[in-house]
Amino acid sequence: MSPRCRSPQWGFSLIVVLLLLLVATVLGVGAAQVSLVNERSARNDRDTEVAFQAAEAALVDAETDVLGPNDDTRQRLCLFSRRDVSGFVEGCGGDGKQQGLCAPSEPGVDPAWTTVDFSADSGRSVAYGTFTGQRYFSGDAATGMRAGALPARAPRYIVEAVRSRGGWPADALQSASARDADYLFRVTAIGYGMRDETQVVLQTNLYKPAAGPGCLPQD
How many distinct structural domains can be found in the chain? 1
Give strand pairing partners of 189. Answer: 157, 202
Sequence-ordered strand ranges (E) for the chain: 101-102, 126-127, 156-163, 183-192, 199-206
pLDDT, residue 162, reads: 92
pLDDT, residue 20, reads: 83
Quick check: is 147 in a domain? yes
Quick check: is 10 in a domain? no
Task: Quick: pLDDT tens for 27-70.
Answer: 888 887 777 776 777 778 889 999 999 999 999 999 999 999 99
- For residues 149 and 96, what is the distance between their CA atoms, to the nearest angstrom? 32
Quick check: is 94 in a domain? yes
Q: Which domain holds residue 157?
A: 52-206
pLDDT, residue 62, reads: 96
Task: Quick: pLDDT tens for 83-137.
Answer: 889 899 988 977 789 999 999 988 788 899 999 999 888 889 999 999 999 999 8
Question: pLDDT tier at 167 (50, 70, 90 boundaries)?
Answer: low
Quick check: is 149 in a domain? yes
Quick check: is 73 in a domain? yes
Quick check: is 169 in a domain? yes
H/E segment holding residue 20: helix 9-67
Quick check: is 12 in a domain? no
Q: Greater confidence, 1 or 114? A: 114
Quick check: is 63 in a domain? yes
**Stated pTM of the model:** 0.76
Chain mean position to CA 175? 35
